[in-house]
Amino acid sequence: MTNGQESGGAPGYGAAPQQNPYGQGAHAPNPYAQPVPPQQPYGRPAAASNPYAQPAADPQPVPYPRPVPPQQPDAARRPDPAARFEAAPQPGGFPGPAPRRNRAAVLLQFLLQWIYAPLWILGLVAVFVVLILADYSGGGPDSDGWVRVNRSFIPPRRLRAELTGRPEDWERYVTPLLERRIAAAEATHAAGGGTVQPDLGREVSVGLAVRLYRGLGADGVVRIAERFGWQGVPNGTDAEQVRLVRRFPAPAALAAPSPQDPPAAPGTPWGPQPTRFALLLPVVFLLQIVYVPVYGLLTFWVNHPEPDRWERWGARWTVGPRAFKAEFTNSPAAWDRHIRRILKRDATRELARPADGYGPLLAPDGTFLRRITLHRATYCGAGAHRALRIAAEEGWVLDPAYAPDPVNSLRLCRADHR
């Protein structure tokens, strides 16, 4: 017995055959009309709920918006190369290999760089010393290229690729370099970095100059980046650089107490934290005059695997004049005054920013979120929950784009309208 269709597409039971078996009709839908695309974990992220809409009634009111839990990417699944950021680039959308450099020029630069690079560094040190002694406060050049000695330096690992020009040699050089930069960018996201997107997700980016992948081309770099779940950005890539991005979804939930909850217990992540020994603070206050300048230079020149390492170090070994009294006395009233003072300062600065500067974060109705951050040194002795209660009095709530990290900082937001 047939199921209603014979071979060749003719209907059974003696009915007249259809003229167009794949046309849109009432009897049979077109199986090739709009296939359901497979879900891509690194394509466009799932749209989160509108953070500016009024929340529905809840037995336990929450003072901050909660986004809809987005689809989490499957770490075990290798990203589909066809899934690209925003518009999928057409073939040839990324520049290919750049012209090969002259071998003699490459060898000459490699030999001479061991002479001029140290002299260049000594010259920079001399310039900075002169500027400090002269109390120079004028403007500098628009670009910092004259400071970056490494831009004209050919490491031995790249010399072979420069001389042979073979794509496989360039790929062997670029792959570990790109892997390190991607790992550093993802660590930055884990520490709270990245650019907030309209759906409350965050985007981190990596850029490579053409000198680092000359014989491979931007298309080859994008192909390597896709192995790590990253995508190339055609509109941010040109003949001089390639730009790679990865989007991370917003946290599924904010595991944090409400400002109306009872105070958190001391020693817990949201409660008061132990402060430094009171008699040690005057010593730290005086010694930091000597080592804070060195600390500032290290934060500029030395990249640490933990992006917030220097910030945590500064919170431990420095003390500001405004926080000195609060930490020295460890009085709840002094901590409250300090929190309110810092909150007012940062909020005033943020509220002074024009709404047009938020760009794509503006909702269609002109609503957007203003953001500030309170560091641990601001509320250490009072606790993050106490700082959250004080901030809630001024309309500031936990930022739903970040996972709460009360031990180190409080990221707050407040809805505003243009």
Q: Are residues 229 and 117 in the same domain?
A: yes
Predicted pLDDT at 67: 44
Bigger pLDDT: 324 vs 137: 324
Which of 113-117, 164-168, 409-413 shows the lowest mean pLDDT across its residues? Answer: 113-117
How far is residue 242 from each of residues 63, 80, 93, 126, 215, measured CA to CA in Å? 42, 20, 12, 34, 13
Which of 274-278, 307-311, 356-360, 364-368 shows the lowest mean pLDDT across its residues? Answer: 307-311
Task: Give the tens place of pLDDT for each residue, 304-334.
Answer: 666 667 777 777 788 888 888 999 999 999 9
Q: Is residue 227 domain-resident?
A: yes
Euclidean distance between CA atoms 384 and 333, whole angstroms: 15
Residues 161, 215 contacting (CB under 8 angstroms): yes
Which residue range forms the structural domain that includes residue 326?
Answer: 319-417
Q: Is residue 154 domain-resident?
A: yes
Segment 264-271 mean pLDDT:
93
Which of 216-225, 255-264, 293-302 shows the lowest mean pLDDT across its residues? Answer: 293-302
Other C-beta atoms within 10 Å of 28: how many? 15
Q: Is residue 81 domain-resident?
A: no
* pLDDT over threshold 90, residue 206: yes
Residues 404, 253 contacting (CB under 8 angstroms): no
Residues 218, 251 contacting (CB under 8 angstroms): no
Euclidean distance between CA atoms 244 and 231, whole angstroms: 6
Confidence of residue 45 (pLDDT cuts 50, 70, 90): very low
* pLDDT over threshold 90, residue 141: no
Q: Is residue 125 domain-resident?
A: yes
Predicted pLDDT at 13: 42
Predicted pLDDT at 392: 96
Query: Which residue's entry shows tokens 């995508």?
Result: 231
Q: Are residues 111 and 202 in the same domain?
A: yes
Bigger pLDDT: 210 vs 59: 210
Task: Give the tens place of pLDDT for each residue, 11-25.
Answer: 444 444 444 444 444
Segment 259-286 mean pLDDT:
91
Q: Are residues 215 and 108 in the same domain?
A: yes
Euclidean distance between CA atoms 240 and 236, whole angstroms: 11
Bigger pLDDT: 163 vs 51: 163
Final residue in a domain of this structure, among 248, 271, 299: 248
Euclidean distance between CA atoms 285 and 370, whole angstroms: 33
State the Rg of the chain over Cα.
Answer: 29
Q: Walk across the sheet containing 367-375 and list its strands.
A: 367-375, 409-417, 397-398
Final residue in a domain of this structure, among 209, 225, 248: 248
Q: Are residues 233 and 107 in the same domain?
A: yes
Confidence of residue 242 (pLDDT cuts 50, 70, 90): very high
Contacts of 216 (CB under 8 A, 6+ apart): 97, 167, 170, 171, 174
Euclidean distance between CA atoms 170 and 413, whole angstroms: 45
Task: Give the tens place of pLDDT for each residue, 68-96.
Answer: 444 444 444 344 433 333 333 444 479 89
Q: Are residues 233 and 328 in the same domain?
A: no
Q: Is residue 360 domain-resident?
A: yes
Q: Is residue 157 domain-resident?
A: yes
Which of 188-197, 334-343, 376-385 shows the lowest mean pLDDT across its residues? Answer: 188-197
Mean residue pLDDT across the chain? 78
Confidence of residue 121 (pLDDT cuts 50, 70, 90): confident
* pLDDT over threshold 80, residue 264: yes
Task: Give the tens place of pLDDT for each residue, 340-359.
Answer: 999 999 999 999 999 888 87
Residues 100, 219 contacting (CB under 8 angstroms): no
In terms of Cα–Cα distance, which of 220, 332, 184 is closest to 272? Answer: 332
In percent, the amount of the chain with pLDDT more than 70 equals 71
Residues 298, 313 contacting (CB under 8 angstroms): no
Task: Give the tens place of pLDDT for each residue, 149-161.
Answer: 667 889 888 999 9
Q: Is residue 313 domain-resident?
A: no
Euclidean distance between CA atoms 169 and 100, whole angstroms: 13
Q: Is residue 232 domain-resident?
A: yes
Euclidean distance between CA atoms 394 and 345, whole angstroms: 13
C-alpha dihedral sign at 344, 346, 348, 351: negative
Predicted pLDDT at 28: 45
Q: Are residues 242 and 113 in the same domain?
A: yes
Q: Are residues 328 and 206 in the same domain?
A: no
Predicted pLDDT at 172: 95
In terms of Cα–Cα distance, which of 205, 207, 222 is closest to 96? Answer: 222
Q: Are residues 223 and 115 in the same domain?
A: yes
In percent, the amount of the chain with pLDDT more than 90 equals 42
Segment 212-238 mean pLDDT:
93
Segment 120-140 mean pLDDT:
70
* pLDDT over threshold 60, residue 54: no
Final residue in a domain of this structure, among 197, 231, 248: 248
* pLDDT over threshold 50, residue 201: yes
Euclidean distance between CA atoms 400 and 330, whole angstroms: 31
Query: Which residue's entry shows tokens 């309309």?
Result: 395
Predicted pLDDT at 308: 67
Confidence of residue 66 (pLDDT cuts 50, 70, 90): very low
Instruction: Tell me the residue type at 249.
Output: P
Contacts of 198 (CB under 8 A, 6+ apart): 360, 361, 363
Structural domains of the chain, count: 2
Write the DSSP symbol of residue 68: P
Segment 117-125 mean pLDDT:
82
Task: Give the tens place of pLDDT for each residue, 228-240.
Answer: 999 999 988 888 8
